[in-house]
Chains A and B, each alone.
Chain A
Amino acid sequence: MDKILRIDMGADGGPKINVTDLGGYAGFGGRAMTTAIVSREVPPLCHPLGAENKLVIAPGMLSGTIAAMSGRLSIGCKSPLTGGIKESNSGGQAAQVLGRLGYAAIVLEGKPKSEDLYKVFINKEGVKIVVDNGLKMLPNYDLVDKMKAEFGDKISCISIGPAGEMKMNVASIACTDIELRPTRHAGRGGVGAVMGSKGVKVIVLDDTGVSMRPPKDVEKFRDANKRFVDGLMKHPVTGQALPAYGTNVLTNILSEAGGYPTYNFKQGRFTGASKISGETLAELETKRGGMPTHGCHRGCVIRCSGVFNDKDGHYLTKQPEYETVWAHGGNCGIDDMDAIAQLDFMDDNFGVDTIEMGATIGVAMDAGIAKFGDAQAAINLVKEVGKGSDLGRILGGGAAVTGKIFGVERVPVVKGQAMPAYDPRAVKGVGVTYATSPMGADHTAGYAVATNILKVGGYVDPLTAEGQIELSRNLQIATAAVDSTGMCIFIAFAILDQADTFQALLDLISAFYGINLTGDGVVELGKKVLSMERDFNARAGFTAQQDRLPRYFTNEFLPPHNVNFDVKDEDLDKVFNW
């Protein structure tokens, strides 16, 4: 990973490929890389869909090595959804393959002068970019089938569906999984719209003939990887619960805790929770010949995903994640697992963020566009998005846009981005993260749910304001660092609880790069990334007023615990005081 591929889509005479060395970006990976390039090179006041914005695709520091769990890809830009800096993170095969091909980043720059749609092919011989207008408006699954027919089945794809081509705020970027299905998405922030604005439909990667990235100290690296894997297997969450039930195991516990937002954030508990829970989902998958346990990339040992078959036993989609089941399920009053799985497939196929899409439908239901609980109506609305009808274009603008157009007061967004599956009034630590993360409302940016609800990494009472600032701060710092390594964030469950597993991670990075990384070094990296992101947002016009939840979370009390969000504004302003 010693080079950066830049493609100037706006060059005279068509896209111009330029491969450079790392220069000032040496040592960066993943989120640190995307954030460094965007914060240094993109004018913060630019239009997100204009020539000055850049789309940066970066594997993590350890991606492409034999290190377990190192297959996360970071995609960064100025976000069309939030207007601030964005790093959206995806699993799938792409990060490993890109790392092995030697690219620390792909940067799509400029703006094409024509309406042509491009396809990029990268292998060990180099990079080709060609016009392929036959791909226009293809959904992701059909697109990947076409790429397989053209390039064979030893490829990985990074692609956009129709939503990205239509430059919708909800548009995601899909990455294929081990079976070459476009099921893993950099979902958040409208990154797919930015790829669409660059006129690139798909990046096809082929790592035939290249080998794993070699560590500086092979023996130490192998030893650290073994201890790391042992630690993950030993921890009950990463070793047992996540493989058995997947992320959707959270449905029951969040509903039980009264922090499961239902009917567009009106109640904290859902009567239909057990019908769409992880327990029910795993049972259904097994019964229909699907799989309750499945990894999204080679080298994953947690394997939190699965395969969901329809009633006839045919593949429908990957195991819908907790956030998806919530967004399209409980948040819309829907408790029909088959309908939720259908929506998951449609989202992946059209290329939209399941969280933003579900939250948007929740807002639309509040506006009376459809009735809460009407699964068929929800499916029809997502079809409108895929078609790009007038209504579909409005919904494709996301929850904030939809709320404004239909005159809805209760719109659960921060910095224009929809909140995920935890009500900030009953899980106050994640409320602090929603409010203050430079990304907009994002649970992964500082997953205080672990400590508030799951009692991982200690315990801080979710229902009181005390201790939440410090909790969110520490998690946001740690997450910014982990997102830079290429490691899946789920390793956090083990490294928060087990000091020897955290040490194994430090040893992995140290042995690979021939450095001596300490816990303090990780903290410094996380702070550096967050500081760059905060600085970009400040230059884009963000102030403390954007680090707030919508007012109704203070004014309206959430049943069953009848709690509001009572973390003080002046305390929110201290999250990044270090």
Chain B
Amino acid sequence: MNITINLFATLRKDRFDSARQEYPSGTNVRHVLSILLIPESEAAIIFVNGRHAEPDSELRDGDALSIFPPIGGG
């Protein structure tokens, strides 16, 4: 299945801003993190299609997965 992955802030370093990648069906967020070598502690905020998700969240074909390190502002 096709997943669009968006990375932000420090997570872009040595990786990418946005990419479409193929994964086997049944893949969860944790698996994607491990492929991208992102420690779970750095993936502080995870969205799937604009809704908060967890490492255990299962992905579906066409999902947009966005991963942020700890950030703040205001």
Using a CB–CB cutoff of 8 Å, the interface residues on chain A facing chain B are: 235-238, 240-242, 244-250, 252-253, 256-258, 269, 274, 278-279, 304, 322-323, 443-444, 447, 449-450, 453-456, 459, 461-463, 489-490, 493, 560-561
Contact = CB atoms under 8 A, between A and B. Distances in A.
24 contacts: A236-B44, A240-B70, A242-B73, A244-B9, A244-B10, A245-B71, A246-B73, A247-B73, A249-B8, A249-B72, A253-B45, A253-B68, A256-B6, A256-B50, A304-B73, A443-B74, A450-B74, A454-B70, A456-B72, A461-B52, A462-B52, A489-B74, A493-B72, A560-B50
B2 to A, nearest CB: 19
A250 B71 contact: yes
Contacts of B10: 240-241, 244
Contact of B74 (A244, A274, A447, A462): A447
B3 to A, nearest CB: 15
Nearest to A444: B74
Given A244-B9, A279-B9, A490 B52 contact: no
Contacts of B69: 236, 240-241
Interface of B: 6, 8-10, 12, 17, 44-45, 47, 50-52, 66, 68-74
B45 A455 contact: yes
Given A241-B72, A490-B72, 14 more contacts: A236-B44, A237-B71, A241-B10, A245-B9, A245-B71, A253-B45, A253-B68, A256-B6, A257-B52, A258-B50, A443-B74, A462-B52, A463-B51, A490-B74
A205 B8 CA distance: 42
Of A235, A246, A257, the most chain B CB neighbours within 10 A belong to A257
Given A244-B10, A249-B9, A461-B52, A322 B73 contact: yes
Nearest to A235: B70
Contacts of B52: 257, 455, 459, 461-462
A356 B63 CA distance: 37
Majority-rule SS of A interface residues: helix
B41 to A, nearest CB: 9
Contact of B72 (A279, A450, A560): A450
Contacts of A450: 72, 74
B63 to A, nearest CB: 13
A269 B47 CA distance: 14
Contact of B73 (A236, A250, A274, A461): A250
B8 A269 contact: no
Given A279-B8, A454-B45, A561 B71 contact: no
Contacts of B45: 253, 453-455
Residue among A236, A238, A456, A561 facing the most chain B CB atoms (10 A cut-off) = A236
A213 to B, nearest CB: 28
Interface centre among B44, B50, B68, B74 (most CB of A within 10 A): B74
A456 B6 CA distance: 21
Nearest to A252: B8
Contact of A236 (B8, B47, B70): B70
A183 to B, nearest CB: 17
B74 A250 contact: yes
A249 B44 contact: no
A463 to B, nearest CB: 7
B73 A269 contact: no
A304 B74 CA distance: 10
A455 B10 CA distance: 18
A269 B72 contact: no
Contact of A257 (B6, B47, B74): B47
B9 A256 contact: no
A444 B73 CA distance: 10
B71 A241 contact: yes
A247 B72 CA distance: 7
Contact of B47 (A237, A256, A322, A490): A256
Nearest to A258: B50
A290 B19 CA distance: 30
A453 B69 CA distance: 12
A248 B73 CA distance: 7
Name the 3 nearest CB pairs between A and B, nearest first.
A247-B73, A236-B70, A237-B72
Nearest to B8: A252
